[in-house]
Structure 1
Amino acid sequence: MHSIGAQKIAMPSLVSKELWDKSGRWSDSAEELFRLKDRQKTDFCLAPTHEEVVTNLIATAKHLTEIHLPIYLYQITSKFRDEMKAKHGLLRGREFVMKDLYTFDANESQAIKTYEKVCNSYENIFKRLDLPVIKARASVGSIGGKYSDEFVLPSDLGEDEIYKCNACQTAFNTELVLNGSDAECISCKSNDLTKMNAIEVGHAFLLGNRYSAKFDAKYSSNDTNAKNIYEMGCYGLGVSRILAAAVEVLSQNHTICWPKALAPFKLCVVLPKRGSKEDTGNGTVFGQQFANCLSNVLNEDILIDDRTTQTIGRRLTGLQTLGIPYTIIAGKQITDEIPKFEIIDNQSKQNYFMTQLECIQFLENLL
């Protein structure tokens, strides 16, 4: 977010009915909204999104002019939605963590440029996470606006249904198709489509003046001082859902696979069993020293498995459930004349025997 010039703010989770009435969403949101009253019987809700709050904030800043635009404001906070059936842990919960961004531009052409910039930023985030996310055109739903795109991970567990065109690679939500039995691509009109289930992990909306007009949110023109309505966009990433979806999509059998960028630790050093030939031959001390060396060279926290009363094999079985990408074992070759560690790539299941220097060079290229 910082790379595109966004500023981090904090907005309240408890929002008055007055703001939601102004946008018209208090009555439109039906059962999904958590509603409550204070001791004065004033109505509030626990915000699932913050379009009303941020637009009201900008509307009160009467001094803003065209020279201050664009304005990008984001937060990372808990959201609340009264789901009919919360399930699958973090994939669909009544409380969840979201990164939401709200943008304010001078006109529609600038807002579209911002929209493309943010979508590209989201795609770069998912590339860094090494997640096979698809960008798909979607319905604007109750949030409203001119159009929207969602970012989805293909998965049988997903509740979204997506068409992907085999001719032009355009993807779109099935909600945009009126007749499912005669569906065609929204771009090239081809009927050669692949239908799949997917987990939504992000969404972008080009809002236009859906909220800014209702809140009378205006900026002053540089030339004429005329007051003009902002063109807005809103963009969300489901932080907690991305965690759950990544594990769901990448993991195999009983082995958790995290994206390297999300793994709690990228490396684990497994020390020899206590009393073993490797332990008495200074393999344990060497392993601990190497773990400290790796931490300094790679600038990473290293997990040291010092459950040395257990065999290495038993400890490896347990480590598979943590999703750590690489395991380094101070095993049988650690006491050789030229000591070697065993490195296991826990995702590809390949293993390598390397000296201390070879290990460092190997890991520097991967992490």
Structure 2
Amino acid sequence: MSQVARINVYIDARKIVGNPLLPEVYQILKIIRPEWRAESIEPKNFTDGITNLLMGYYENGKFDEDVILLRIYGEGTELMIDRDLEKKNIFVLSDAGRCPPLYAEFNNGIAYGFVHGQTLDPDTVRDHRIKRLIAEEMCRMHYVKPEGREPKPELFSKLQKFLNIYPDRLDMPEKQKRFVELLPSKDKIIEDFCELKSHLEALHCEIVFSHNDLLLKNIIYSKEKDKITFIDHEYAMYNYQPYDIANHFCEYAGVDEVDFSRYPGKEYQLDWIQHYLVCWEEINGRPGSLVTDRDVEEMYIKVNKFALAAHFFWATWAIIQAKYSKIDFDFLGYGIMKYNEFLSRKNEFLSLKLPDNQ
């Protein structure tokens, strides 16, 4: 496992937005890239997510050669993200060739490598070549087996932790009004959780090491290398195999401008899943020809059932963020949309029947 520098530095997210070359930044970069000259370092703001602040640094205009990323954690995110586990995930995946290396950790963030390429959008994610590369890369990640970690699904234990800190009320009057009027009570949410947990656990799905957050901007495509790379492994953990696929399909809707009609239809899903299952057989040393239409149909049904868990997960996550996060994003509105989509699809997906002879 690679060595990582531990630097006793705190970066003020409010200051770095207006002054990306803070002395604290130089202190970190000097340890990672001692040959860089301070006057030659250039910054780039990569912040696109809604959890952290992300800054990139390179020297003398050499953006295409070497970029160091600094991720400054959002306030309150430690309530939902195990930062020590996140660092272990990066080590494991970097050693497996699935992500760039972790260089350093500082008091409220990490420094790590950069992946060149384009982030996906609602059109490029559907490109025939790109979607197959995504399925293949997901297979490779699912095949990773972190040493010393029990292959036990963590989805529902993670959700239970969310529910334990789910807010009783929100601080601002306008938020509180929407919170009360547009969301069910916490008791009803817990009731939905218990029903969903019971239904999905009964499917007895395979357990794999999963990314769990494959929104479009966490997927990088390099046209030059014809390669897909997944980034941001904050939520990586052992999980039910269909969940990662389901969550990815749910993320076709987008984040800033959510459109749930982008959720892939059955024909599209069957094609995607068939390619994934062939890759899965082959990466496990078995011929891809073993995959049957019944296998594909069974995974399709499981994926759509787990789509409910994905909506539920990010709905509760967003509502907690609405309570604690200082990031300028309508977390409450996003959580309400995700929960409503969970409700609108609930009966449809729970009623799907697996093929006979189970």
TM-score range (shorter-chain normalised) is: under 0.3
Structure exhibiting the larger radius of gyration computed from Cα positions? 1
Q: Which has the higher contact order (CA 8 A, sep 6+)?
A: 2
Q: TM-score, normalised by structure 2?
A: 0.22
More strand by share: 1
